[in-house]
Structures are given as structure tokens and as C-alpha cells.
Amino acid sequence: MKSWKRVEPTIVSKVGYRQVVSKSFVMPDGVTKHFETVNGEGSRAAVVLPITTEGKVIVCRQYRPGPAMIMDELPGGGVADGETLEDGARRELLEETGYEPGKLIYLGVIHYDSYDNLERHCFLATGCKQSKNFAPKDAEEFIELRLITITELLAVARAGKMTDPGAVLLAYDKLKELEGKQ
Amino acid sequence: MKSWKRVEPTIVSKVGYRQVVSKSFVMPDGVTKHFETVNGEGSRAAVVLPITTEGKVIVCRQYRPGPAMIMDELPGGGVADGETLEDGARRELLEETGYEPGKLIYLGVIHYDSYDNLERHCFLATGCKQSKNFAPKDAEEFIELRLITITELLAVARAGKMTDPGAVLLAYDKLKELEGKQ
């Protein structure tokens, strides 16, 4: 199977802060088609599945505007150009939870949607400890920190009450192993 | 924790066929904020993880414009207003693969992104057989059907080479059970 051949035009539109990138391809039958994709090309996000030294998973309970419900989220967010994925993961974890990882393990990259350009890079952070000199911006971001068991995390992810469930999938076997020890 | 209070205005914009919905909320601190979310409110998709009578998983290898790579996809797509999720799942499975399920098991709904309105409803389809009177629209949709083992499916999903990995997460324990029997 061959990749489709990317051709001009590429048209980048913005609706508020949301970017829509119209990409054009010559399809295998020779016809050129246009596709509206979301998020900027080359954009990257880091998603962190953080486990404390006590074996609890840190999730950020917050209301989410798309699904329009309260969800237990994994910390994460956009990684800036020039920032490494690891630095982005550490920064998002610290900003949203006030925790720092003992060890940061790269799980892989995941794509959820055929028309989304964003690369979502997932990390498992073990041995997380509260940073001494940092208070998360709870008041600003309206996040309620929760420490839950791995069994609870798996239940939340499977109940569809968490965005970025890809990190749970990538860490699944490791999580089951850790769950067995709890 | 309280939900944010939804207020007007809601502004629906279109870029090509892509819908962006600007939603407004009064945040817990009393400030009104606007969020640009993608996909129409109330929009639904069905994603099917199909397993044949021989225990093979049916995936649709195709080039995907967002991630810009060839991926092994699960069949699925938008469910129309007035169509049931089950009917949408059967239709998408038939259209993309030419297979019909023996049994269709609802796995649950998943949300990948905090700013995406689309509800993705996942199904496990067991005992799938080729329909006698239907040829999939391969030529039109440029799909190469592949029959892979459950072990291969898990590897593909964990390698980030499949969109809609949520269905794999929701079916994980069942898949491991079936894998053990193969």
C-alpha cells in the first residue's frame, strides 16, 4: 500500500484559538481531495500517568468543555517548539499537580483520530513526590487533585471518564503488574 | 466539584466540512470563558472491533491524512441522527469490510480530547462472517483488509499505528482472554 501524495494547497484557518489545517492529497485513483484536519501540523502534547511513591495514581478532576462532564484527567498539555517531550511532561506534571517524578518512562506516541495532527506522547512517571517549593495553580485551573488506586484508574478509563486513555492502554500490562502488588 | 455553567453565546463555525463549536461557560471564579471545541454537539460515532469466526481481527489498512501515515484501522464512522448506535456499527462494519457480526457487544463510550464533542461508542463484534451479497467499497475508500491475530492487534494499538485505540482499551481483558485460547 502506498501513501497518498501530499500536494498544495495547504490552508491554515483559525477559529478562535483552534487551528484547522486543510490538507490536499492525490489519492490512489489520481483524484485530488482536500481534508480538514484539526490542530497544527507538527504539534505535540505530553500526557503523564503519574504514580506516587505510595503507589497511588494522581488524577486531576475537572470539568471538560467538549464532553461537558467532570472527568478524572491525566496531567498533560502542549509541548512548545524547542522544549523536549520530557521537559514538557515534567512541566505539565508540576504545573497541574505539584509533583515531581522519580523516574519518567516514555510509553510511546498515540493518535486518536484520522483527522487530527496532534502527536500525543505518553509517559509513565513513577516514584512521584510533592515538590517542596511549588503549589499547583488549582485556583486558576479549577483542578481537584485525587490520589486513586490503579484499580480505580482502570475503572475510570474504561468508563470513559478520562480523556487521553491512550496512556492507560500503553501502560496497561505494567499497571496490571503494579496492581497485583497492591 | 461543580460543573461549569453553560451560557450563551454558542457559535458554530465551519471550515470546509469541519465544525468548530465555540462554547461559553461561567467558570467557578465567576468569569465567563469561551472554548473552541471540534465536531458537532451531540455527534456520535461507532467504532467496531471485529473478530471473525476463526478468531482473527479484521483491520482496515489505509493512509490517514491527520497522522500522515498508513495505519491499521478499526472500522467505524459517524452515526446519523435517527440511526441507532447498533445499526450504525453494523453498517460501518459491512461498508468497510463486507463482514456481518454474529454478536455485537457494546463496550462503552470514550472521549479522547477535552475539546472534542464527538461521542465514540465502541463495540466488540464476535463471530464475524463475510456477507454473501456485499463487496466493500475498497476501490473507493482505498482500504486494504487485513486479518490479524489478537497479539498483532495489541501490538499495532500499542505502537500508535491505529486511531480509535479506545476500543482496544475497553476490550482489553476480553482480548487477553481470547488471546490465551489462540
The band of B181, judged by pLDDT with boundaries at 50, 70 and 90, is confident
- What mean pLDDT is reported for chain A? 94
Nearest to B27 among A6, A68, A142 (CB): A142
The residues, ordered by sequence, that sit 6+ positions from A175 with a Cβ below 8 Å of its Cβ are A150, A153, A154, A168
Determine, for residues A160 and B108 on separate chains, whether the beta-carbon distance falls below 8 Å: yes
| Helix, strand, coil percentages in chain B from 3-state DSSP, rounded to 5 | 25, 45, 35
Interface test with A, best of B169, B176, B179 (most A CBs within 10 A): B169
When pLDDT is averaged across residues B124-138 and rounded to a whole number, the result is 84
The band of A177, judged by pLDDT with boundaries at 50, 70 and 90, is very high
**A74: phi then psi, degrees, rounded to nearest 5:** -85, 145
Is B119 a residue whose pLDDT tops 90? yes
Nearest to A15 among B2, B28, B36 (CB): B36
Is B140 a residue whose pLDDT tops 60? no
pLDDT score of B136: 67
pLDDT score of B2: 83
* Alpha helices, DSSP H, located in chain A: 85-97, 138-141, 150-158, 166-170, 172-181
Chain A residues within an 8 Å CB radius of B13: 15
B86-122 as b/e, with b when 16 or more CB fall inside 10 Å?
eebbbbbbbbbbbbbbeebeebbbbbbbbbbbbbbbb
pTM of the model: 0.94
- A144-148 and A57-64 strand pairing: antiparallel
pLDDT score of A45: 98
Determine, for residues A65 and B37 on separate chains, whether the beta-carbon distance falls below 8 Å: yes
Q: Mind telling me how many Å the CA of A167 is from chain B's nearest CA? A: 9
Is A28 a residue whose pLDDT tops 90? no
Tell me: the pLDDT tens digits for A50-89?
999 999 999 999 999 999 999 999 999 999 999 999 999 9
Determine, for residues B163 and A13 on separate chains, whether the beta-carbon distance falls below 8 Å: no
The CA R_g of chain A, rounded to the nearest whole Å, is 18
Chain A residues within an 8 Å CB radius of B4: 63, 65
This model of the complex carries an ipTM of 0.93
Closest residue by Cα to residue A90 from A140, A149, A50: A50
Output DSSP code: residue B67: T
Chain A residues within an 8 Å CB radius of B62: 1
Rounded-to-integer distance, Cα A128 and Cα A98, Å = 10
Rounded-to-integer distance, Cα B64 and Cα B85, Å = 24
When pLDDT is averaged across residues B126-136 and rounded to a whole number, the result is 86
Is A4 a residue whose pLDDT tops 70? yes
Query: In the 3-class helix/strand/coil scheme, how is B84-151 assigned residue by residue?
Result: CHHHHHHHHHHHHHCEECCEEEEEEEECCCCCECCEEEEEEEEEEEECCCCCCCHHHHCCEEEEECHH
Tell me: the pLDDT tens digits for B15-69?
999 999 999 999 988 999 999 999 999 999 999 999 999 999 999 999 999 999 9
pLDDT score of A153: 97
Is B142 a residue whose pLDDT tops 70? yes
When pLDDT is averaged across residues A119-136 and rounded to a whole number, the result is 91
Tell me: the pLDDT tens digits for B65-89?
999 999 999 999 999 999 999 999 9
pLDDT score of B28: 87
Q: How many CA atoms lie within 13 A of A34 on its CB side?
A: 13
Residue identified by cell 457487544 is: B105
Of A1-10, B46-55, B114-123, minimum mean pLDDT range: A1-10
Interface size A-B, in CB pairs within 8 Å, comes to 176
